[in-house]
Every structure is written in C-alpha cells, then in structure tokens.
C-alpha cells in the first residue's frame, strides 16, 4: 500500500528536533517496568508486542504482593478481618474500573477473565434472551475472533443471522454499508473500538448513535482501545464495553464488562454457583443483583487488585499523554518504514492507534518475526486472531509491531534498521 508520509531527510531531521517527546519522564516510566531492562540474544530487549499483552509496572506487582502478603482471604460473606479487607480491596478495584471508564456506577462493572469472557457473557445471557429466529447481529469485518465466534454460536443456536459491515482498502469500516445493514431486525451491533490487526480507531460514538436509531443495543470491544485512548462510556453512548487487564499493564485472567444498569438487571445469570445467588432452595433459587449475579465462584482476587493498580497507574500518567506519545512513535515508524523496500503496510486508516501491521515482499511474516527476535526485538507474526482481515487484504499473515507507553524513538529506529537488514538477508 502506498505510503503518503515519506518525508525528505531534512524534513525528518526537523520533525525529530521539534518532537516534544512524552509529557512524562520516559526514563522513569521505563524504570517502573523491571522486565524491560534485560537483554535478549545479547541485545537490549525491544518489546513491541504490546497489542498481545503489555508488561507490568512495579505498582501492579506491589499491589499483588501486598494482597498475598498482608490481607489475602476469600471475598464476600466473610465476617473475619482479612476477608473484609480482601473484599474492600477488590471492590476498590471495581471502583477504579468505574472511574477509568467514567461509568455511572460500580454496580455496572462485572469482573470477568477478560474481553473474550465479557463478550461470551453478553452473548450467553443478554443474547439468548433477546436474539431470536430471524433476528440479526451486526459486526464488522475487522473484528477479533472474540467478537465474531460468540455471535456465530449465538446466531446458530437462536436461528438468527450474523451480518458483517465491510471495510475499505485502508481498513476503515464503510459506514454507508453499516447503515445499509442496520434494520429493525438488528438486535445488537458489536464493534471493536480499535482493531488489533490494523490499528483502525472506529468512530464508535457515531456507530452507536446509528445503531440506537435502528433500535439495536451496542457492545464495544475495547481490548485495544483502553491502553491508548481515554474511554468514556457515557460519551460513547454504548450499552456494553469490554476490556482486558493484561493489555492495560495489569494481570492476565482479569478484565471488565461494563453494562448499562437496566440491561444488566434484566439479564439472567450465565453461570451458576456460589456468590451469585440471593437464596437457594430445591424449590427454586433467586439471584443476586448485578454485578454479583454474573460472578459465580471464587474470583481472581489478587488479579482484580492488580488490575485496579494498573488502571490507577495509567490514569496517573494520563491517557492523553500516553496516547500522544504513542501517536508520535506510530508516525515515526510509519514514515521510516516507507523506506524499507517491499514493505506493505496493512491498515492505513486516518485514525490509528499504536499498531503497525505489515508484510515484506518474499519474506514470510514468521521469518521476519524470527529475524527480529535474534536482534532482541519482540513482534508478533500471524493472523492475529483476525483471519477475515487477512482475507480482506489477501495475505495469510502479517508481522505486527505494536507500541506501549514505555517504547522509545530509539526502539522504533532499531526495528526499522533490523527490517532493512532482513531485507538484505532475504534479497
Ligand atoms: N478483542 C480484541 C480487539 C483483541 O485485540 C483481543 C486480544 C481480544 C478481543 C481478546 O482479548 P482477551 O484478553 O480476552 O484474549 N488480542 C490479541 C492480539 O492481538 N494478540 O494476542 C491477543
């Protein structure tokens, strides 16, 4: 794909001098992430696989260590002091999620294992109740498999139809097509806030408004947005928002689903067990109100605590500052990569966040990934759980570099230099 950002060497120098850098202290931020200070194959680690999972700051490790070392016990229902402290810490994390999303109430925040589980929860609970034969669920062509397969399963079970709004050659959702596919039969529109394979930032607010006009409920997959953009679920106007802890510098195995209170209250449980009931008898069981109705069993207590610490860390740095820095890295990388012979960028939307997917002529993406790893550079190669996107662009896989708040301009330069070397190596 043709690049438009190619600048002359002089322009480039000017840009670099004028570049303000992050509005936070990058050296200090990097020092918060002990894992970054290591060598891989004798070279300084350059971690550019942040879209898959981010590294963890000391604040998150300390919060988890304090949970285990000072107050760990099972949560809820406990009269003893440690159980009450554990419960309070986990509920504090729920409040951190509420603040992070600007949700109206912490009771609308359900802890889940991650984005995947959040979407499955909505499909299994809300979906089974509201999607019937002849109904439609509308997604887009750029979704992660997590925002495709649960809807396929639901539609198959309910006799409903899955519709897909196409993307254009830049990787932007074609809004006119989305409009055309919206109908009174559309029960739900499920859309990524940011694409993991392309980096496209979707106009979620506009999509939500259009979907609501058609009478549909809107779920936003925020897995790739939460680490980069300030999310305000009230301003977005969506009905559900899902994201994962491990992509926002927190632990794996934890994430959150935010849902509008009226919707959550009307939803049946999706898993049964301890913690989600009001009363149980063999004659019949009544259920706890949200969020506990959707949290059966002993939860990931320490992970929730670490998740809250991660969100507070990110908020303290400031998402606008983080996003601005990552945008600079993305612009620099986009410009530099234009000079790598045979490099095709996959995903050139006007609005992008922190993801650069590309192919190199005559070199398989996995080989690119392996060559980069020999230089200490961690990127991902594959279909990124977005096979329909690969199909749309006619490639089996891409190499993907994805940026996080701790990446540097020098790391971008190291990536590009390594790509030039790979180019020479493979001819
Ligand atoms: N949605 C999007 C847009 C994602 O990028 C991912 C994970 C998920 C959902 C699923 O999140 P999980 O935390 O439940 O696994 N994306 C990636 C990726 O791009 N590489 O590894 C995981």
What is the model's pLDDT at position 21? 82
- Picking from 254, 285, 315, the residue at the C-terminal end of a domain is 315
Q: Are 373 and 362 members of one domain? A: yes
Tell me, yes or no, whether 138 and 91 share the same domain. Answer: yes
Domain boundary among 268, 293, 315: 315
Per DSSP, the three-state class of 170 is coil
Among 112, 115, 225, residue to substitute to test ligand 1 (most atoms within 8 Å of Cβ)? 115
What local confidence, expressed as pLDDT, does residue 386 receive? 96
What pLDDT, on the 0 to 100 scale, is given for residue 20?
64
Pair (285, 200) in one structural domain: yes
2 in a domain, yes or no?
no
> Alpha-carbon distance 123 to 217, whole Å?
12
The answer to the question of residue 395 being in a domain is yes
Query: What is the per-residue pLDDT for 427?
Result: 79
Is residue 54 included in any domain, yes or no?
Answer: no
Structural domain includes residue 20: no
Three-state secondary structure call for residue 287: strand
Nearest alpha carbon to residue 187 among 157, 153, 211, 206: 211
Does the residue 10 lie in any domain? no
* Residues 119 and 30 grouped into a single domain: no
The dihedral through the CA atoms of 371, 373, 379, 384 has a sign that is: positive
Q: Are 356 and 375 part of one and the same domain?
A: yes
Q: Give the CATH number of the domain where residue 214 resides.
A: 3.40.640.10
C-alpha–C-alpha distance, residues 427 and 421, integer Å: 10
Indicate the pairing of strand 109-112 with strand 377-378: unpaired
Percent of the chain with pLDDT over 90: 93
210 and 345 share one domain:
no
Residue 220 Rama label (left phi>0; alpha psi -120 to 50; beta): beta
226 belongs to a structural domain: yes
185 and 233 in a single domain? The answer is: yes
CA of 261 to the centre of ligand 1 (A): 26
Contact 379, 400 (CB under 8 A): yes
Query: Is the same domain home to 274 and 332?
Result: no
Query: CB within 6 Å of ligand 1 — which residues?
Result: 51-52, 114-116, 144, 146-147, 192, 196, 221, 223-224, 244, 384-385
User: Can you tell me which residue has the tokens 């979407």?
Assistant: 119
The CB density around residue 366, as the number of other CB atoms within 10 Å, is: 12
Q: Omega before 291 cis (within 30°)?
A: yes
250 CA distance to ligand 1 middle (Å): 14
**CA 93 – ligand 1 centroid, Å:** 22
Query: CA-to-CA distance for 169 and 137, rounded, in angstroms?
Result: 24
User: What are 108's two structure tokens?
Assistant: 């609308």
Write down the pLDDT at residue 27.
96
What residues in the chain have per-residue pLDDT under 50? 1-17
Does 339 lie in the same domain as 296? no
Q: Which two tokens stand for residue 177?
A: 């097509």
Rounded Cα distance between 255 and 244, Å, is 4
Q: Please state the atom number of ligand 1 nearest to the C-alpha of residue 113.
A: 14
Contacts of 416 (CB under 8 A, 6+ apart): 333, 336, 337, 339, 340
Rg (CA), the chain: 22
Taking 3-state DSSP, the helix, strand and coil percentages for the chain, each rounded to the nearest 5, stand at 45, 20, 35
Domain with 221 in it: 60-315
**Residue at 95 is within a domain:** yes
**Of the residues 266, 291, 315, which one is the last residue of a structural domain?**
315
* Structure-token pair, residue 341: 């012979």
Q: What is the pLDDT of residues 114-136, one digit of tens each?
A: 999 999 999 999 999 999 999 99
Instruction: Output the domain CATH number for residue 393.
Output: 3.90.1150.10
pLDDT at 330: 98
Per-residue confidence (pLDDT) for residue 19, from 0 to 100 = 59
Specify the number of domains making up the chain: 2
135 and 97 share a domain?
yes
How many Cβ atoms are within 10 Å of 340's Cβ, its own excluded? 18
Q: Which residues are catalytic?
A: 385
Mutate to test the pocket of ligand 1, among 120, 224, 300 (most ligand atoms within 8 A of CB): 224
User: Does residue 16 lie in a domain region?
Assistant: no
Rounded to 10°, the helix 58-66/301-317 angle is 150
Q: Residue 402 C-alpha to ligand 1 middle, in angstroms?
A: 13
Cα separation, 206 vs 156, in Å, equals 29
Contact 335, 7 (CB under 8 A): yes
Query: pLDDT tens digit string along 37-82?
Result: 999 999 999 999 999 999 999 999 999 999 999 999 999 978 999 9
Residues 306 and 332 in one domain: no
Same domain? For 344 and 277 the reply is no
């Amino acid at each position: 794909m043709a690049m438009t950002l190619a600048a002359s060497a002089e322009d480039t120098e000017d840009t670099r001098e004028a570049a303000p850098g992050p509005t936070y202290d990058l050296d200090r931020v990097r020092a918060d992430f002990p894992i970054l200070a290591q060598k891989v194959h004798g070279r300084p680690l350059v971690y550019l696989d942040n879209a898959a999972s981010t590294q963890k700051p000391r604040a998150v490790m300390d919060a988890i260590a304090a949970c285990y070392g000072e107050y760990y016990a099972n949560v809820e229902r406990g009269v003893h002091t440690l159980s009450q402290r554990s419960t309070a810490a986990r509920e504090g994390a729920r409040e951190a999620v509420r603040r992070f999303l600007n949700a109206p109430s912490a009771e609308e925040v359900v802890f889940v294992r991650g984005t995947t589980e959040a979407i499955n929860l909505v499909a299994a609970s809300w979906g089974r109740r509201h999607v019937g034969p002849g109904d439609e669920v509308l997604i887009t062509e750029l979704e992660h498999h997590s925002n495709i397969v649960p809807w396929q399963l639901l539609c198959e079970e309910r006799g409903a139809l899955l519709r897909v709004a196409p993307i254009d050659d830049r990787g932007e959702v074609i809004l006119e097509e989305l409009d055309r596919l919206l109908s009174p039969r559309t029960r739900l529109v499920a859309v990524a806030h940011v694409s993991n394979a392309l980096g496209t930032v979707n106009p979620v607010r506009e999509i939500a408004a259009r979907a609501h006009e058609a009478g549909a409920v809107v779920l936003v997959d925020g897995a790739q947005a939460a680490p980069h953009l300030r999310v305000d679920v009230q301003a977005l106007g969506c009905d559900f928002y899902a994201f994962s802890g491990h992509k926002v510098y927190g632990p794996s195995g934890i994430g959150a689903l935010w849902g509008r209170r009226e919707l959550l209250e009307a939803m049946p449980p999706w898993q049964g067990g301890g913690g989600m009931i009001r009363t149980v008898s063999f004659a019949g069981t009544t259920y706890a109100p949200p969020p506990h109705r959707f949290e059966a069993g002993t939860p990931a207590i320490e992970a929730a605590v670490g998740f809250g610490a991660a969100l507070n860390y990110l908020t303290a740095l400031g998402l606008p500052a983080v996003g601005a820095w990552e945008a600079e890295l993305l612009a620099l990388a986009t410009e530099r990569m234009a000079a790598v012979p045979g490099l095709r960028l996959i995903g050139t939307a006007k609005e992008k966040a922190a993801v650069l997917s590309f192919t190199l002529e005559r070199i398989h993406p996995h080989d690119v990934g392996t060559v980069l790893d020999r230089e200490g550079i961690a990127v991902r190669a594959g279909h990124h759980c977005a096979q329909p996107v690969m199909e749309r662009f006619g490639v089996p896989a891409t190499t993907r570099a994805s940026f996080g708040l701790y990446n540097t301009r020098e790391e971008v330069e190291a990536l590009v230099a390594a790509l030039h070397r790979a180019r020479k190596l493979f001819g």
